[in-house]
Each structure stands twice: as C-alpha cells, then as structure tokens.
Amino acid sequence: MLNNFKNTLKNNILIRYLFLAKYLFSKYFYTIHKVNIKNNFFKFSFCFNRFNNNYIDFDIKNNTAIIEDLNKNNKSDDIVSKHKKKNKDATDNKESNKNVQRLFKYDNLKGLAIIFVVFVHLSFPFFGFSIYKDIGTLLAPIAMGIFVFVSGYFSKVDENTQIKAFKNIFIPYILFSTFWIIFIVLAFGNNLPKNPYLVPVRGLWYLLVLFWLRFSLPVLVKIKHIFWISLFGALAIGLINVPNNFLALTRTFCYLPLFLIGFYFKHHNEYLNSLNYRIKNLILKMRNFLINHKKLIFGILIIVLLSLFFIFSNFSFSMGFFGFKKSYVALGLSRKIGILMRLFGIVSTIFVIILINYLMPNKQSFLTKLGRSSLYIYVFHFYFTESMKKILKSDLGSPLFNDPILTAVYLITATALITFILSRDPIEKYIGKLLNLLTRVFVK
C-alpha cells in the first residue's frame, strides 16, 4: 500500500515536471511536436526553430532523460522531413522573390535604354536642330552602355557559355542581318551591301559586339586585372584604323570595360571580400550611403548629365566620337587628346549607369514590359525609322524641319507608338518561334 502511494506520488511529480518542461520549451523553441505518456514512459519532441533547426527527443523514464537526434529515430522521420521541406520551401520562396525583384529592376533599366535608343534614331534626320543633336549625343552612349552593362550582369561562365553565345546571339545576328538586307532591297531598291555580315548592317553591330563579349568571357575572367587591361585596350584601339566598323571590333574593345563592370557587379561581394579590410569597409559605407540617399543620387545624376550635355554640345565630333567606331585620326584628333577624351567618355558612362542602377526601382512598371521585349524592339524599330525617313523627305514631313516644338511632338509620339507596337506579346511569340525554327537549321 505504502509502495503504491509512493509510486503514484512519484508519477504525479514527474508529470508536473513534464508539462512544466513542455511549457518552457514551447515558449523558447516555438514548437512541441508530440507528447506521449504511456506505461510510466514520457516522451516529447521539439524543434530549435529559433536557432539551428536541430531536432531533439527527450525521453523521460524513471526520472532519467535521454537526448537523441530525431534523424536517427524512425518514428520521427515524418516530423523531420516535414520541417525540412517547410524550411526549404521558405528559402526557395525567399530566393524566388529576390530574383523577381532583381529581374524587374534590370528589365526596367533595359526598358529605359530602349526608349533612349528609339528616340535617338528617330531624331537623326533632325540633327539640324542643335538641341536634338546634343540630346542624341548624350543619350546614345548611355543607352548602349546600359544594354552592355545589363548583358554583363546576366552573363555566366560555364562549359556551355561559348555554345550558347553562338546559338543565341551569333545565329540571330546572321538571321536579322539577312532580314534587313532583303527588306532594303525589296522595299527601297537598294543595292546589296558590301561585305555583308562582316560589316554589321543598320545597328546590328550590338549583337555582334555582344557575341564577342560572351564568347570570350570564359577566357577573360581567368586573366588577372582584366578590367584594367580592358580599359587600356579600349584606349589603344583608337590608335588603329579599323575600316568600316569591320566585325564591330573597335566597339567590342570600347564596350568591354562596361561589360566586365556589369559581370563583376553581380559578384561584387566576392570581389570585396578579396580586398583589404579597411578598403572594403570604405566601399561598403559609400554604397550604403548612396542606397539610403536616393534624392542625393538623383541630384548628382542631374548635375552630371547637365555637365555632359554642355561638354558634348561644344564638340562637333562628339556624336562620332562617343559612338566608339572611328579612330582618333579619323576624328581629326591627336593621340593624346583622343585617349583622354575616350577615357572621359568611358568613365563618365560607367558613373552615370551606376547612378541610374541605384535609382531604378525594383517594381514592375511599363518599363518592365519594354525591357523584356527590348531585343525585338531594338532589331525591328529600324524598319520603322528607315520607312519614316522616306516620308519625312516628302511634303508631309517638311513642316517638322521648320518647327522644333512640332518635331518634339513627333519624336515623342513616334517613340511611344513604336515601342508599344513592338512590345506586344504576339510580336515576341511569333518572332521567337521563327527564330527557333531557323536556328535548328544551323544548330541541331
């Protein structure tokens, strides 16, 4: 009788300790998975959700406690797998949301760039108005710089990088060049261009530049101090006269520093970790300051753009110079002045693009759609601009050459219509299918 009473008292005390422990673990570790009370055997499981996701079993029997890893407990495998899956899903969702935000931002950048490109190409016939010439001179290198920067940002180095560059860039370059040649011959009766494909036709130099950059990237990233070498190459290529933009080699060298800036910008944390501790902290403080003071960035950007506008407007050669196509001698410059001007052009373009990158919001907007369709807008807007040139030479276009305000209305309206039409889903869908079909002819 006395022994039964002692056992009952002992069990009641143990139960109270058990539920007290359950309360404490629920409070500090969030989740109690199970509590079993059977035949003087007490067991409950919990998860260290707050700390390191380790799963523990507490077995209490005869006033003793045993701690085991639940991964070794077959009865608890369902608990472990359930919570691991939950944690994995949460991580995947977080990464997915991060990628969506990132894509919105860089799609917006491309959307802004393609608006600049279409506007500048439409304004070419009106360069008799100095205001449009100066605006075109300012926007052209910035717009193409943004495209190169974003292309570098999304470039990857793996065993298929060069194959993908050939299939996704060079083959479309050949096809789009063929389409353009057929168009100008049939629509306007032009002669066949000399050295087709070797000398890029009507703005398609960008695709050829992008092909060279992507194709050579696996080799370039293995070279120490490649950015500074590329900057030297961009300055040195101006000393050589490459006729007729042959294979877009001059532009490839000049845009390589921007491409590498974009590529390393995505992996800047790895680069920062390789720097001296003090230098790394200084760069991080500067970056955080810029991120947290966007009004200041906007003010700096406006000042820089106005300064560049003033500088460009005072150089008659500026449009050809910042197109990065001609040598210094062909532009009528001495070597020293040419090198200094090209260095200024590249550095100022990089600076402006980084400021715009920090200002661009990570939200979906009308720019997002334009950015996602930027390739098709870029390639096919030339068909519109070339056709409009014929109209502008007629009596219908003569009023535009006499009134700069009317010209502004025309440029803004035409830019909006062209980008809207070419960004529609059917355009992207059917052109994409056609490209895939024709690509299979060249690549199995």
pLDDT score of 31: 42
Q: What angle do CA 268, 357, 270 make, to 5 degrees?
A: 5
The residue length of the chain stands at 444
User: Which of 214, 321, 54, 146 has the alpha carbon at shortest distance from 45?
Assistant: 54
Q: What angle do CA 318, 321, 324 make, to 5 degrees?
A: 145
- The residue written with tokens 């703005």 in the block is 203
Question: What are the C-alpha distances in Å from 69 to residues 47, 66, 80, 85, 377?
Answer: 11, 10, 10, 18, 59
pLDDT (tens digit, 9 = 90+) per residue, 164-216? 999 899 999 999 999 999 999 988 888 888 888 898 988 899 999 999 999 99
CB 346 within 8 A of CB 258: yes
Q: What angle do CA 216, 221, 227 make, to 5 degrees?
A: 95
Instruction: Please state, in angstroms and rounded to a whole number, the distance separating the CA atoms of residues 235 and 325.
Output: 12
What's the DSSP call for residue 191?
Answer: P
The answer for residues whose C-beta is within 8 angstroms of residue 193's C-beta and 6 or more apart is: 181, 199, 201
CB 47 within 8 A of CB 30: yes
pLDDT (tens digit, 9 = 90+) per residue, 102-150? 578 999 999 999 999 999 999 988 988 888 888 888 898 899 999 999 9
The enclosing H or E element of 408 equals: helix 404-422
Highest mean pLDDT among 51-55, 72-76, 273-277, 392-396: 392-396
pLDDT score of 7: 53
Instruction: Please state, in angstroms and rounded to a whole number, the distance separating the CA atoms of residues 318 and 354.
Output: 22
Question: What are the C-alpha distances in Å from 113 to residues 261, 296, 325?
Answer: 17, 22, 20
Instruction: Please state, in angstroms and rounded to a whole number, the distance separating the CA atoms of residues 356 and 413.
Output: 24
**Does pLDDT of 284 surpass 90?**
no
Give domain limits for the chain. Answer: 2-72, 97-442
pLDDT (tens digit, 9 = 90+) per residue, 362-404? 888 899 999 999 999 999 999 999 888 888 887 777 888 888 8
**253 C-beta neighbours (distance < 10 Å), count:** 23
From the number of C-beta atoms within 10 Å of its C-beta (0-12, 13-18, 19+), residue 439 rates as middle
Record the tokens describing residue 183, joined without a space: 């168009």
What's the DSSP call for residue 203?
Answer: T
